[in-house]
Amino acid sequence: MRKKVAFYTLGCKLNFSETSTIARSFKDEGFDRVDFNDPADIYVINTCSVTENADKRFKTIVKQAQKSNPNAFVAAIGCYAQLKPQELADVDGVDLVLGATEKFKITDYLNDLTKNDFGEVHSCEIDEADFYVGSYSFGDRTRAFLKVQDGCDYKCTYCTIPLARGISRSDTLEGVLHNAREISKKNIKEIVLTGVNIGDYGKGEFGNKKHEHTFLDLVKGLDEVEGIERLRISSIEPNLLKNETIDFVSKSKTFVPHFHIPLQSGSNTILKLMRRRYMKELYVDRVARIKETMPDACIGVDVIVGFPGETDELFLETYNFLNELDISYLHVFTYSERDNTVAASMDGVISKRVRAKRSKMLRGLSVKKRRAFYEGQIGSKREVLFENENKEGYIQGFTENYVKVKVPWNPDLVNTLQEVKLTEIDHDGLMRLEFINEMVI
């Protein structure tokens, strides 16, 4: 009987790309992949530690696995596993914890799937995480996440990612293009570029800090890959998003007009405390450049509320800054103290109640911003890539500029690109549409 393995992924697109690659290594070893809710011989949980909630969810997920099969072998990998391996190993039911370099060799640690009395830990010092392992996801969605970079050399005072993933390092350009071609053979219409700090692409391409290629070289190379309909840039730092890249995307064959740019605060005082590498004036400049070259571009923003020292006045500075900025939506993160970060010992701690209130205010602003962006798209002609789920009788999809649409369920639409006209916003906030031509199936 072939063994069965199931995966649960917490966190970012990068984690999803790595889970998919690790899952393929299990297949090569003779395992069959099943859904996490199904009985399996081994459950692998790819952890995240960006927020406090991600830590708390881990125990719940372990219990979920044990409910499906009390005798199953449970392994933990990912950022939380690197940062606090013993903490995970002490969770009842966990058998194996692997750190940043060990996770890609997980099948080497599975000679015996007998349950352990105590969780076994194999975790390197993060300084040893200095080599690159390429990853990409497919099969789970109509789009693929393509990892191009890992690690980070920035020293933001609130962030544990450098401690969890190590120094900034990149895939070779040929490695990225090879993986993109592999994805293109699988009838996947869209690739999302992912990494920890993808604008830093090129650094560590040859196992050192030598730069032969830049992020712009990467974008230009991927634009020439045959068979990919859409390429989407995920999160990119504002100081690394150069005019040349924006201008290239505006004329690109495949890159879509959608940018997600972390801001974190609209107050220069807080940005300095965070040790971000820009001031808010640069952010204004980046947004203006995008809108100048691509007026219908979608711009998403990461922002943190409740950082130490964020007075009511400084929060309102952020709120007003975002309110006036021509952006499309927000991802709001409530600041949570992380061990071994500078911010954790800063003065001016904000109460949890105030953090929650500010988070609610910015989430409300995000709804308003998204609504305004969608209203500006009514009547426009777009191309929609449809997803693969039946959600309460509807199929959903995204335009190239990230407007989420819905039409009555039709399985023939799955993973197809359709020319449409956006007509109205439904009560749930999704866009309705008309097909311009006969559906291309």
pLDDT tens digits, 130-181: 677 788 887 656 789 999 999 999 999 999 988 888 889 999 999 999 999 9
Residue 417, amino acid: L
Q: Which of 154, 152, 156, 165 is nearest to 124 (CA)?
A: 165
Give pLDDT, residue 206: 66
Q: What are phi and psi of 302, to 5 degrees?
A: -90, 135
Give pLDDT, residue 56: 72
- Which one has a higher pLDDT value, 278 or 102? 278
SS3 200: helix
The set of residues, in sequence order, having a beta carbon less than 8 Å from that of 165 and lying 6+ positions away, is 79, 82, 100, 126, 129, 150, 151, 152, 196
Distances (CA, A) of 208 to 160, 164, 172: 22, 19, 12
pLDDT digits (tens, 9 = 90+) for 54-105: 667 888 999 999 999 999 999 999 988 999 899 899 999 999 999 888 898 8
Would you say residue 440 has pLDDT above 70?
no
Q: Which of 200, 215, 119 is nearest to 167 (CA)?
A: 200
What CA–CA distance (Å, rounded) separates 376 from 303?
A: 24
Q: Which of 87, 89, 85, 84 is nearest to 74 (CA)?
A: 89
Average pLDDT, whole number, for the chain? Answer: 92
Would you say residue 301 has pLDDT above 70?
yes
Residue 189 and residue 417 in contact, taking contact as beta carbons nearer than 8 Å: yes
Give pLDDT, residue 130: 67
Give pLDDT, residue 11: 81
Q: Which of 300, 315, 292, 278 is nearest to 403 (CA)?
A: 300
- Which one has a higher pLDDT value, 431 or 339? 431
Distances (CA, A) of 433 to 153, 372, 379, 402, 422: 44, 17, 9, 14, 4
Average pLDDT (371-383) is 98
SS3 48: coil
Would you say residue 240 has pLDDT above 90?
yes
Beta pairing partners, 76: 45, 97
Would you say residue 211 has pLDDT above 80?
no
pLDDT digits (tens, 9 = 90+) for 385-429: 999 889 999 999 999 999 999 999 999 999 999 999 999 999 999
pLDDT digits (tens, 9 = 90+) for 115-126: 777 788 987 676
What CA–CA distance (Å, rounded) separates 432 from 395?
A: 11
What CA–CA distance (Å, rounded) separates 34 from 2?
A: 12
Maximal CA-CA distance, the chain:
64
Would you say residue 52 has pLDDT above 70?
no
How many C-beta atoms lie closer than 10 Å to residue 345's C-beta? 10
Give pLDDT, residue 437: 77
Residue 19, amino acid: T
* 394-399 vs 381-386, strand pairing mode: antiparallel
Residue 168 and residue 203 in contact, taking contact as beta carbons nearer than 8 Å: yes
Query: Does the global pTM surpass 0.75?
Result: yes
Give pLDDT, residue 133: 78
How many C-beta atoms lie closer than 10 Å to residue 441's C-beta? 10
Q: In what order do the strands lie in the sheet with 258-264?
A: 258-264, 298-305, 329-334
Residue 137, amino acid: S
Give pLDDT, residue 217: 97
343: DSSP letter: G
Distances (CA, A) of 135 to 7, 132, 147, 292, 419: 16, 10, 5, 34, 32
Confidence of residue 267 (pLDDT cuts 50, 70, 90): very high
Tell me the percentage of the chain whose pLDDT exceeds 70. Answer: 94
Beta pairing partners, 78: 47
* Token output for 84: 């606090």
Give pLDDT, residue 138: 73
SS3 194: strand
Give pLDDT, residue 436: 92
- Which one has a higher pLDDT value, 208 or 366? 366
Give pLDDT, residue 265: 98
What CA–CA distance (Å, rounded) separates 189 from 46?
A: 26
Pure H helices in 239-351: 243-251, 268-274, 280-293, 312-324
Distances (CA, A) of 344 to 151, 160, 264, 349, 411: 21, 11, 17, 9, 50
pLDDT digits (tens, 9 = 90+) for 325-342: 999 999 999 999 998 999
- Which one has a higher pLDDT value, 204 or 20? 20
Distances (CA, A) of 206 to 38, 414, 418: 42, 40, 41
What CA–CA distance (Å, rounded) separates 234 from 17?
A: 13
What CA–CA distance (Å, rounded) separates 394 from 21?
A: 31
Residue 241 — left, alpha, or beta (φ > 0 → left; ψ -120 to 50 → alpha)? beta
